[in-house]
Amino acid sequence: MSRAQRNFLDHLHSVSVSRHALRPTTTWGLGIACLSCLAILFITGFTLFLYYVPDQEVAYERILHIQTTLHFGGLIRNLHFLAANALVILAVLHLSRVFFTGSYKGRILNWQYGLLLLALILYANFTGYLLPWDQISYWAIKVGASLAGYFPLIGPEIKTFLLGGEQIGSETLLRSFALHAGLIPLLLFLTGLHLWRVRKDGGLAAPEGLKEAKLPADPWLFRAEAAVALLTLSVMLLLSCYFDAPIYERADPFHPPNPAKAPWYFIGFQELVSYSALIGGVVIPVVCGLFLVLCPWLDRSKSCGGIWFSRDRLKWSLTFGIMLLAQLLLIAIGLWCRGKNWQWINPF
Ligand code: HEM
């Protein structure tokens, strides 16, 4: 590596690392796994862009062509689909790791960058969902946009922005494609900012009074990061060989499936809205969002970050744990326990 390249890397990446940060149980490598998924998404996404056309007359056929006749097209699409879904799960796990170790302490700005990154990842997933223009994606986006309509004050405007008008149609597809691609520079920039901030904050949060000699990042940290990246890539590749990214029949605006379900990461909100539009669609999401944004200021516990489930943060860990479990339960109910007309069904 040249001197100039090394100097640039040194701004983004730590030059030394504590033994604490290298222990697998400190981070479980979740941040690097997120980064690896992002890399997979950029590379596979670029290839998909070469063949995809955002026109409702041909989009569906283009996806079928990529999936079935293009050399390695199926594998690339599978990888893109799996990495996109894995990124949502890994980012939430990474956020949970940061929360349960209280590592937002002294890292308030980076916590907020992280939340922005999560919102962007969800939005990139949402815009990508519509691109195959099949029955499930068409109706999922319709339901998803209606859910956004419940947002206080500006809900209807958000819905119109997402759909590019009042109804889902060619404008929605074009807009989804443009925004899906347009998010890439923003995601890159924010990820760079997030990593630079980790370095600026003095590396990972660590228990107070920890007196361990630092090790050089090269080779210790680089090796650990390469191992996580290789593991993530291997798992994604293996899964892509066995699981095909779904493609159903072409979108039919006149025949909604019953039930029409939102994408899995928003189905918990759909389940909540089915109980009460006001409580489920407005109050609970806003309270949870505010809780995440404000927790670094509200948490006045004495312990420093970097300790899993520290005693004096027990009430915070419990509150976040309950929120997380509730969201998982709602997603599971929405996915497997709801049938025609949103009636309960036995999933077994
Ligand atoms: C694309 C998504 C993301 C990527 C690529 C990413 C990457 C990383 C990496 C590589 C680290 C350093 C080591 C590690 O924890 O593995 C890190 C730390 C951190 N991340 Fe993320 N992150 C992402 C999303 C998030 C989210 C959603 C949050 C929370 C809202 C967040 C908050 C933080 C904080 C506060 C730290 C510093 C933790 C500490 O000092 O222990 N990140 N991130």
pLDDT digits (tens, 9 = 90+) for 67-108: 999 999 999 999 999 999 999 999 999 999 999 999 999 899
Q: Which residues contact 115 (CB under 8 A, 6 or more apart)?
A: 95, 292, 293
Hey, which residues does 250 pair with through a beta bridge? Answer: 134
Quick one: average pLDDT of 30-37? 98
Report CA(99)–ligand 1 centroid distance (Å). 11
Number of C-beta neighbours around residue 277 at 10 A: 13
Query: For the domain bounded by 19-201+212-342, which CATH number is listed?
Result: 1.20.810.10
pTM for the predicted model, two decimal places:
0.94
Whether the CB of 107 sits within 6 Å of ligand 1: yes
CA nearest neighbour of 251 among 149, 148, 338, 141: 141
Whether the CB of 38 sits within 6 Å of ligand 1: yes
**Distances 345 to 139, 164, 329 between C-alpha atoms, Å:** 21, 35, 15
**Residue 152 pLDDT > 90:** no
Among 116, 194, 323, the mutation site with the greatest number of ligand 1 atoms within 8 A of its Cβ is: 194
With pLDDT > 70 as the criterion, what percentage of the chain qualifies? 96
Predicted local distance difference test score (pLDDT) of residue 265: 94
Ligand 1: nearest atom to the Cα of 31: 16
Report CA(95)–ligand 1 centroid distance (Å). 7
**Residue 113 pLDDT > 80:** yes
Task: Please classify residue 246 by burial: count the beta carbons closer than 10 Å to its beta carbon, then call 0-12 exposed, 13-18 middle and 19+ buried.
Answer: exposed
Number of C-beta neighbours around residue 24 at 10 A: 10
Quick one: average pLDDT of 149-162? 88
Mean pLDDT of the chain: 93
Answer whether 176's CB lies under 8 Å from 130's CB: yes
- Lowest mean pLDDT across 4-13, 27-36, 187-196: 4-13
Hey, which residues does 338 pair with through a beta bridge? Answer: 344
Predicted local distance difference test score (pLDDT) of residue 1: 63
Quick one: average pLDDT of 150-161? 88
Report CA(142)–ligand 1 centroid distance (Å). 32
Predicted local distance difference test score (pLDDT) of residue 151: 81
Mark residue 235 as left, alpha or beta (left: phi above 0; alpha: psi -120 to 50; beta: remaining). alpha
Answer whether 236's CB lies under 8 Å from 85's CB: no
Report CA(252)–ligand 1 centroid distance (Å). 40
Report CA(73)–ligand 1 centroid distance (Å). 32
Whether the CB of 191 sits within 6 Å of ligand 1: yes
**Distances 199 to 71, 110, 113, 206 between C-alpha atoms, Å:** 41, 11, 14, 13
Euclidean distance between CA atoms 314 and 312, whole angstroms: 6
Euclidean distance between CA atoms 79 and 73, whole angstroms: 10
